[in-house]
Amino acid sequence: MNLDDDLIAIKGIGKKKYKLLNNLNLYKVKDLLTNFPRTYVDRSKVNNINEIENESISTIKLLIYDVSETKNAYKKSTLRLKCKDTNGYNVAIIFFNASFLLKKFSIGKEYYFYGKIVKTHYEAKMFHPEFSDSMYNDKKFLRIEPIYSLTAGITNKEMINIYENIIDNVLFEENLFSPYIIQNKLCDINYAFKNINLPTSKEALKKARYRFIYEEFFNLFLSLSLIKNKVKSSGGIVLKDLPMVDFYKNLKFTLTKSQEKVWNQIKIDLTSNNQMNRLLQGDVGSGKTIVAMMAMYLTYKNNMQSTLMVPTSVLANQHFRTFSDVLKNFNIKIILLTGNTKNKKQIYKDIELGKYDIIIGTHAILEEGVKFKNLALVITDEQHRFGVKQRNILSTKEKNVNVLVMSATPIPRTLSLIIYGDVDISVIDQLPSGRKQIKTHYVKKNKINDMYEFIRSKVEEKRQIYFICPLIEESEALDIKSASELYKELSERIYTKFNVKLLHGKMKAKEKETIMKDFSEGKINILISTTVIEVGINVPNASIMVINDANRFGLSQLHQLRGRVGRGEYQSYCFMTSNKMGDTSKKRIQTMIDTNDGFEIAERDLLLRGPGEILGLKQHGLPELKIGELAKHSQIFEIVKMDVNNLVQMYNQGEKASVEFIIKFIENRLSNNINI
Ligand X SMILES: Nc1ncnc2c1ncn2[C@@H]1O[C@H](COP(=O)(O)OP(=O)(O)OP(=O)(O)O)[C@@H](O)[C@H]1O
Which residues inside 257-276 make contact with ligand X, applying CB under 6 A? 259
In the complex, what is the shortest distance from the CB of residue 404 to ligand X, in angstroms, rounded to a whole number? Answer: 13
Which residues inside 443-502 make contact with ligand X, applying CB under 6 A?
Answer: none
244 near ligand X (CB under 6 A):
no
Cβ distance to ligand X smaller for residue 145 or 381: 381
Cα(400)–Cα(237) distance, rounded to whole angstroms? 6
Residue type, position 76, single letter: K
Beta bridge partners of 547: 468, 576
Contact between residue 34 and residue 60 where contact means Cβ atoms under 8 Å apart: no
Q: In what order do the strands lie in the sheet with 277-282?
A: 334-337, 358-361, 305-309, 375-381, 402-407, 277-282, 424-428
> How many helices and strands in the chain, by DSSP H and E?
22, 22
Contact 253, 246 (CB under 8 A): no
> Strand, coil or helix: what is 237?
coil
Interface with ligand X by CB under 6 A: which range of 23-31, 58-66, 254-262, 600-608?
A: 254-262
Segment 380 to 399, residues that bind ligand X, using CB under 6 A: none
DSSP-based three-state secondary structure for 84: strand
Q: Which residue's CB is nearer to ligand X, number 255 or number 666?
A: 255
Minimum Å gap between C-beta 283 and ligand X is: 7
Q: For residue 532, which of 362, 299, 289, 280 has the smallest C-alpha distance?
A: 362
Q: Binding residue for ligand X (CB under 6 A) from 35, 58, 277, 286?
A: 286
Q: Which stretch binds ligand X (CB under 6 A): 33-41, 277-285, 296-304, 442-450?
A: 277-285
314 touches ligand X by CB under 6 A:
no
Site string for ligand X, 21-60 (x = CB under 6 A): ----------------------------------------
Whole-angstrom distance, CA of residue 452 vs CA of residue 454: 5
List the one residue out of 486, 537, 13 whose CA is nearest residue 317.
537
Nearer to ligand X by Cβ, of 43 and 564: the residue is 564
Q: How distant, in Å, are the alpha carbons of 30, 152, 194, 261, 444 from that of 24?
A: 13, 10, 20, 51, 39
CA distances to 118, 378, 602 from 313, in Å: 61, 18, 26
CA atoms of 280 and 411, how far apart (whole Å):
11
- State in angstroms the smallest separation of the CB of 386 from ligand X: 16
Contacts (CB under 6 A) with ligand X, residues 493-552: 536, 538, 540
Over 543-609, what HEC string results? EEEEECCHHHCCHHHHHHHHCCCCCCCCCCEEEECCCCCCHHHHHHHHHHHHCCCHHHHHHHHHHHC
**How far, in Å, CA of 638 to CA of 622, rounded?**
19
In this structure, are residues 357 and 335 in contact, taking their beta carbons and an 8 Å threshold?
no
Query: Residues 58, 132, 225, 256: which binds ligand X (CB under 6 A)?
Result: 256
Q: Considering the complex, what minimum distance in angstroms separates the CB of residue 237 from ligand X?
A: 25
Residue 282 in contact with ligand X, rule: CB under 6 A:
yes
Smallest gap from Cβ 645 to ligand X, in A, equals 32
Helix, strand or coil, per DSSP, at residue 280: strand
Q: How far apart are CA 503 and CA 223, in angstroms?
A: 39
Among 408, 427, 438, 576, binds ligand X (CB under 6 A): 408
User: Minimal distance in Å, beta carbon 538 to ligand X?
Assistant: 4
> How far is Cα 463 from Cα 133, in angstroms, rounded to an integer?
71
Span interacting with ligand X, options 150-158, 285-293, 301-309, 591-599, rule CB under 6 A: 285-293
Nearest to ligand X of 115, 285 (CB atom): 285
Piece of the chain touching ligand X by CB under 6 A; list 23-31, 279-287, 580-588, 637-645: 279-287
Rg (CA), the chain: 31
Shorter beta-carbon distance to ligand X: residue 129 or 282: 282
290 binds ligand X (CB under 6 A): yes
The count of chain residues that interact with ligand X, using the rule CB under 6 A, is: 19
Q: Contact at 8 Å (CB) between 495 and 459?
A: yes
Contacting residue, 288, 481, 620, 641, with ligand X by CB under 6 A:
288
What SS3 class is residue 41? strand
CB of residue 451 vs ligand X: minimum separation in angstroms?
24
Min separation Cβ 431 and ligand X, Å: 8
Beta carbon of residue 364, minimum distance to ligand X (angstroms, whole number): 20
Nearer to ligand X, 562 or 641 (CB): 562
Report the residue number, 564 or 633, with the smaller CB distance to ligand X: 564
545 and 534 Cβ atoms separated by less than 8 Å: no
- Which region, judged by CB under 6 A, interacts with ligand X, from 250-258, 390-398, 452-460, 508-516? 250-258
Q: Which residue, 408 or 438, has its beta carbon nearer to ligand X?
A: 408
Distance of closest approach, residue 597 Cβ to ligand X, in angstroms? 14
Q: Which is nearer to ligand X, 408 or 546 (CB)?
A: 408
- Enumerate residues 6+ apart whose C-beta is below 8 A from 674: 223, 621, 622, 623
If the CB atoms of residues 324 and 491 are measured against ligand X, the closer one turns out to be 324
Using CB under 6 A as the binding rule, whether residue 255 contacts ligand X is answered as yes
List of residues 6+ apart from 247 with CB closer than 8 A? 294, 297
Which of 287, 598, 623, 628 is in the footprint of ligand X by CB under 6 A? 287
CB of 292 vs ligand X, minimal distance in Å = 8
Compute the least distance from the CB of residue 44 to ligand X, in Å.
52
User: How many whole angstroms from its chain centre is CA 368?
Assistant: 30
**Distance in Å, CB of 305 to ligand X, minimum:** 22
Q: At what angle do helices 313-326 and 509-520 cross, to 10 degrees?
A: 40
Alpha carbon distance 263, 265 (integer Å): 5
Beta carbon of residue 211, minimum distance to ligand X (angstroms, whole number): 40
Binding letters toward ligand X, positions 555-594, x by CB under 6 A: --------x---x---------------------------
CB of 155 to ligand X, least distance (A): 49
Q: Which residue number, 129 or 285, has a Cβ lying nearer to ligand X?
A: 285
Question: Could you list the residues that contact ligand X (CB under 6 A)?
Answer: 253, 255-256, 259, 282, 284-290, 408, 432, 536, 538, 540, 563, 567
